[in-house]
Amino acid sequence: MLACGTLPLHKLASQYGTPLYVYSADHILYRAGLFAAEFTGTPHTLCYSVKANSNLSILKLLAGQGSGFDIVSGGELERVLHVGKAAAQKVVFSGVGKRAEEMDLAIQSGILIFNVESEAELDLLAQRASKLKKRVRMALRVNPDVFAETHPYISTGLHEHKFGIDIRAARKVYAKAAKFKWLDPAGVSVHIGSQIRSVEPFGAALGRVARLVQTLGRDGLKIRYIDAGGGLGIEYHADHAFDPAAKVHSYAQVLRKAIAGLDVHLLLEPGRFIVAQAGALLATVLYVKKNGSKTFVVTDAGMNDLIRPALYQAHHEIQPLKTAGKKTQTVDVVGPVCETGDFFARDRNLPVLTAGDQVALLDAGAYGMSQASNYNTRPRPAEVLVQGKKTTLVRRRESVQELLQPEIF
């Protein structure tokens, strides 16, 4: 029987209905705690990447443990402010397309630092800061041209990607930044991609950043913050061994080595690593159908609820909530959405499933609900947070009425 802590998941599925996202607060705090433990002795701030899972209750949980936040939009900033005005002081603002209004809100909220991704953005930030008469800390997000093995859609650290500023051009842009009265070029930031399972690329990228920080120092610019970005990967396959504590340990070793000797405050922006394995998407089998030689298990959850398999060919383990018989069957697990890409698994050997059975798509806590949509006019799932024996509905299921409401008709 599949459980969250001691709580059987089928009970939650019956109580709240499916599709349902279930998160373990205890596991989220455990994951965040690994960073605190492994980086003791290194001045650092954990800035959880809000886009991985932006549910307010999860943000509140992490803020309560002292976490800061990495945001990529004004909307995400509003979420952090909703959790608590003080939380803004530990906010890092990333993203290639910040609008003036978003900058203004962030400046007025007193965020920790902006990660600037282009020279044009630098000009706009200087203009907004000057207008508001607030000195603004900023870093350039540099592109270190480091290759990291991951899905092409979530790789960001090469020259061909839209993110950041070529590290070879950074020195010139810092010289320009230093001339703006209302800008404080306080940091250098880097983020090479997501779901990177080996720690070496992080070391290589940060090594290049460290050399840039030294060069800037010689230019007379004292850099106080190095933002190492996020991207630390997990194992989605049950048959791949994975020890999260050992992973953060080797990650911390590689980063510390890269910045050894520098007097800087390290910013860390993990998203997936904190929440992915703390969450599951529960679904109910609607039908089992055969087309020729193929068997399809149709669930009430679809690609609008969890798009990762369709978008990144991502793998999610699927398990029945109640112990099934020993017999297995090779099936495709698909959703009700009218797209061939609407699948959760292809040719997967699973215990034999029949209509009414409930299943869990595991490791769905990151980029699950945060990427969910209303495609096919499907209300998004409800979300439940489990802490110890306590379960809290942290987002109720949407109704179709709510989806129609903004339409002018």
Least separation, in Å, of the C-beta of 389 and ligand PLP?
A: 29
Residue (92 or 264) nearer to ligand PLP, CB: 92
Among 12, 22, 25, 52, binds ligand PLP (CB under 6 A): 52
Rg from Cα positions in the chain: 22
Pick the stretch among 53-61, 225-233, 281-289, 306-314 that binds ligand PLP (CB under 6 A): 225-233
Q: Return the range that interacts with ligand PLP (CB under 6 A); candidates 174-182, 224-232, 255-263, 279-287.
A: 224-232
CA dist., res. 128 & res. 151, Å (int): 36
Interface stretch with ligand PLP, choices 30-38, 106-114, 226-234, 302-310 (CB under 6 A): 226-234
Q: Which stretch binds ligand PLP (CB under 6 A): 205-213, 227-235, 238-246, 347-355?
A: 227-235
- Which segment (33-41, 191-199, 349-357, 368-376) binds ligand PLP by CB under 6 A? 191-199
Residue 98 binding ligand PLP, by CB under 6 A: no
Query: What's the closest the beta carbon of residue 125 comes to ligand PLP, in angstroms?
Result: 16
Give the binding-site size for ligand PLP (rule: CB under 6 A): 19
**Is residue 368 a contact point for ligand PLP (CB under 6 A)?**
no
Handedness of CA 141, 147, 149, 153 (dihedral sign): positive
250 secondary structure, DSSP code: H
Q: Which of 293, 338, 401, 408 is catalytic?
A: 338
Nearest distance, CB of residue 270 and ligand PLP, angstroms? 5
Question: For the purposes of burial, counting CB atoms within 10 Å of the CB of 389, is it exposed (0-12), middle (13-18) or buried (19 or more)?
Answer: exposed
DSSP conformation class of 380: P
338 is catalytic: yes
Q: 191, 247, 315, 380: which one contacts ligand PLP (CB under 6 A)?
A: 191
Q: Is residue 272 a contact point for ligand PLP (CB under 6 A)?
A: yes
Quote the least distance from Cβ 271 to ligand PLP, whole Å: 3
Q: What residues have CB less than 8 Å from 353, skipping those under 6 apart?
A: 285, 288, 297, 320, 324, 329, 331, 359
Q: Is 231 in the site for ligand PLP (CB under 6 A)?
A: yes
The Cα 193–Cα 183 span in angstroms is 27
Cα separation values, 292 from 289, 295, 296, 310, 342, Å: 10, 8, 11, 23, 19
Q: Is 271 in the site for ligand PLP (CB under 6 A)?
A: yes
Give the H/E segment covering residue 331: strand 328-334
The structure tokens listed for 235 are: 């194992």
Mask for 53-92, x = binds ligand PLP (CB under 6 A): -----------------x-x--------------------
Contact between 230 and ligand PLP by CB under 6 A: the answer reads: yes
Asked if 270 is part of the footprint of ligand PLP (rule: CB under 6 A), the reply reads yes
Task: Tell me which DSSP letter residue 73 carries.
Answer: S
Q: Which of 24, 55, 73, 194 binds ligand PLP (CB under 6 A)?
A: 194
HEC string of 219-244? CCCCCCEEECCCCECCCCCCCCCCCH
User: Rounded to whole angstroms, how far apart are CA atoms 239 and 248?
Assistant: 20
Give CA angle at 269 (40, 80), nearest 5°. Answer: 110
- Token match 């209750």: residue? 57
Q: Using CB under 6 A as the criterion, which residues of the chain lie in contact with ligand PLP when the complex forms? A: 49, 51-52, 70, 72, 94, 191, 194-195, 229-232, 269-273, 366
Which residues participate in catalysis according to the annotation?
A: 338
